[in-house]
Structure 1
Amino acid sequence: MSTQAQESREALGARLRGFRKDAGFTSGRALARALNWQESKVSRIENGRQNASEDDIRLWCRATEHESDLADLVATVRHIDEMWKEWRRQIQDGTENRQKKSLPLYQKTKIFRIWEPSTIWGTIQTADYAENIFEQVSNFHETPADTEAAVAKRLERQKYLYEGKRIFNVLLGEQALYSNHGGSEVMRAQLDRLLAVLALPRLSLGIVPRAAPLTLWIGHGFAMFDDRLVMVETYSAEMSVTQPREVELYRKAFEMHRRAAVYGQPARDLILTAIGHFNRIGRECRG
C-alpha cells in the first residue's frame, strides 16, 4: 500500500490504542478477549499492520465507550480503503492500459528483485502463456478482453532485458514450472524460454525447489524496483509499498528465498524435468 495509506492506517491504530487504554483495557489481549477476537488482532490493528473493517470499528467503539467517534472513524476506514488500487477499477477498460503503465517504471529501474512462487514472471513469459494469463484475468473480473493488445504491451517490457545496465534478480518457485497455463504445448514452449533466458548476462534466474529447506514461508509474489517500490498483486487489488521499513522487509524476504534457490545447472535440471512432465502429458493426450 502507498505511504499515505500506511501512515493513515498507523494513525488510526494509535487513536484506537488510546481508546483502549482510556477504557481500562491494559493490554490488547484483554480487549481481544472482550471482543472474542484472536489475541493478535488488536495488536495488528493498533500497529497499522492490518486494516480495520467498519464492523471492527463499531465493536471497538462500543467496548471502549467511544461510540460518539464512530462516524468519524468509519469515514477514516473508508478513506484508507479507497487508497487501495482495485484491480477492477484499473482494468475496467481492459488489461492493455495497466500493462502500458509499467513501461516507465521499468525504464527508470536499475535493479529488479522478483519473487514468483507459482507463476512465470511476466517479463519472461511467451506470448501464448501471457495470453492465457490475461484471458483468466478478464474472465475472473468480467472485464473487456483486449488480450492481443495486452500481450503486445507485456512483451514490450522484454526489451529492457537487453538494454542499459539493468540487473534482474528473478526467483521462481518450482511450482511455477508446473502451474499449467494453456496446456502442455504452451507450457513446453514457456519452459524452453526459461532455458534461453538462463544465458542472459544481466538476468539471474533462481528456482526454489519444492523440497528446499525454508527459512521463510513461501508467501505471495512481489516485484521490487530498486529500493523504493514494491508491487504486490492480489485477486482484488494491486498494492504499492513505498514505506522504507516495509520495502526493507520485502528485500529481506527476497534474500531469504534466494538462499533456498538453486542456479545454473541445478536450475536447468529442474526446468528439463518439468519439460519432461509436459512431454508425457502431451503424448497421453495424443494417445
Structure 2
Amino acid sequence: MTTASPSSSAQAAREALAVRLMHLRKDAGLTGKELSARCGWHPAKTTRIQKGAMLPSDADIRTWCAACGADDQADDLIATARAVDSMYMEWRRLHRNGMRQVQEGWYALHEQTRHCRVYVSNLPPGFLQRPTFATALMEQITRFQGTPDDVAEAAAARVAPSRFLYQGGHLYVVLLEESVLRYPTADPHAMRGQLRYLLAVMPLASISLGIIPFTTQRTVWPLEAFYVHDDAMAVVETLTAEIKVTQPRAVADYAKAFAGLASMAVYGDAARALIQAAIDALE
C-alpha cells in the first residue's frame, strides 16, 4: 500500500480512482461497513481508500470488486491504480541531470513497440527529426527549463529511433497538423532540411504520414501531442510534463481520437504538396 503522492496531478488521479470504487460500492447497495465486512478489513481502510488517502493494492481492488459483484471491472481499475504514481512526470524532474537519459528511454520504448500511432500539433516527432532541427529544439528547451546542458548528446539520442524506420517489424502511423510544417522552430536552413526529410521518408513501407490541413472541417479538435504504443500505453506531452496513460479505457479514448484525426488528414500527393508548399515559403 502506498502513501499519498506529492504530485497534485497524481493525487487527482488517485481521487478519481477512489470515486470509481465508491460508486461501485453504492451501485452494489452497500454501506462502507458492509463492504468492509465482506472484504474482511477494518472500516477505516475503506474510508481511507474512498478519500484517496490510500492507494489500494491489486489484491485490495480484486477483493473490493468481488464484494460489489463487479469482478469484470477489476483489471481496468488495477491498471488505473498502477498508473497513478507514475503517470505524471514533470519535465524538470526528468531533465534534472540533462535530457540525454530521457531520450535514451524513448529509444528503448520504440525498440519494443511494433505499431506506433503518433499525433503532433506543434513539432515533428523525435524519430522524424533531423540532427540540426533536434539540436535547435533542445537548446530552446534547455534554456526554458534551466536544466543542465547536454544538448549534443541528447539530440543524438533523440534522433536515434529513426533507425527503426529502416528495420523490419516496426510500423509508424504519423499525423501532423499543417502548423507543424509552418512553425519556424529552427532557422530556415534547418527547417528546409527537416521538411525535405519528411518527403524523403514518405515512400518507406514502415511509415504512413498524413497531414491535417488548416482548412479541414474539424471532427476532433487539435490536441496535445500523443503517442499510442501497441494499444498498451499512450504517452502525452504537455508543456510541463510527460503523462503515461495505461488505463485501458483511456488508451482506447486516445485510439478513438487518433482514428478521428486520421479521417481528416490527407496522404500521398496531397500531403507532399503541403510539405512542398511549406518548403517553398521558406525559399
TM-score by length of 2: 0.73
Q: How does 1:173-212 map to 2 (within 5 A)?
A: 173-212=177-216
1:142 aligned residue: 146
Structure 2: which amino acid aligns with 1:162? Answer: Y
Secondary structure in 2 matching 1:239? strand
Residues 87 and 244 of structure 2 are in contact (CA less than 8 Å); yes or no, is this contact kept in structure 1? no
Query: How far off its partner does 1:135 sit?
Result: 1.1
Q: How does 1:1-287 map to 2 (within 5 A)?
A: 8-14=14-20, 84-279=88-283
Structure 1: 5+ residue runs without aligned partners?
A: 19-68, 280-287
After superposing on structure 2, the runs of 4+ consecutive aligned residues of structure 1 that deviate more than 4 Å are 4-7, 14-18, 72-77, 80-83
Query: How far off its partner does 1:269 sit?
Result: 0.4
1:40 aligned residue: none
Distance in 2, matches of 1:14 and 1:216, equals 27
Distance in 2, matches of 1:73 and 1:9, equals 7
Query: How far off its partner does 1:6 sit?
Result: 8.0
Residues 5 and 83 of structure 1 are in contact (CA less than 8 Å); yes or no, is this contact kept in structure 2? no
How large is the RMSD of aligned CA atoms in angstroms?
2.7
Residues 117 and 229 of structure 2 are in contact (CA less than 8 Å); yes or no, is this contact kept in structure 1? yes
Structure 2: which amino acid aligns with 1:11? Answer: L
Query: How far off its partner does 1:87 sit?
Result: 1.1
Distance in 1, matches of 2:12 and 2:208, equals 32
Q: Report the identity percentage.
A: 34
Structure 1: which amino acid aligns with 2:16? Answer: E
Count of aligned pairs: 225
Distance in 2, matches of 1:74 and 1:213, equals 41
Query: How far off its partner does 1:275 sit?
Result: 0.4
Distance in 2, matches of 1:183 and 1:143, equals 23
After superposition, the C-alpha distances for 1:32-66 in whole angstroms (9 at most, x for unaligned) are: xxxxxxxxxxxxxxxxxxxxxxxxxxxxxxxxxxx
Secondary structure in 2 matching 1:204? strand
Distance in 2, matches of 1:15 and 1:124, equals 42
Structure 2: which amino acid aligns with 1:126? Answer: R
Secondary structure in 2 matching 1:254? helix
Distance in 1, matches of 2:169 and 2:52, equals 48
Structure 2: 5+ residue runs without aligned partners?
A: 1-6, 25-46, 56-83
Secondary structure in 1 matching 2:278? helix
Distance in 2, matches of 1:97 and 1:142, equals 16
TM-score by length of 1: 0.72
Distance in 2, matches of 1:160 and 1:257, equals 24
Distance in 2, matches of 1:165 and 1:11, equals 36
Secondary structure in 2 matching 1:219? coil
After superposition, the C-alpha distances for 1:214-257 in whole angstroms (9 at most, x for unaligned) are: 11111111011010011011111111000001000000100100
User: Against the structure 1 CA distance between its residues 83 and 226, is the aligned structure 2 distance closer, same or farther, given a 3 Å change threshold?
Assistant: closer
Residues 15 and 52 of structure 2 are in contact (CA less than 8 Å); yes or no, is this contact kept in structure 1? no
Distance in 1, matches of 2:255 and 2:86, equals 27
Query: How far off its partner does 1:156 sit?
Result: 1.3
Residues 115 and 229 of structure 2 are in contact (CA less than 8 Å); yes or no, is this contact kept in structure 1? yes
User: Against the structure 1 CA distance between its residues 192 and 243, is the aligned structure 2 distance closer, same or farther, given a 3 Å change threshold?
Assistant: same
Secondary structure in 2 matching 1:151? helix
2:36 aligned residue: none
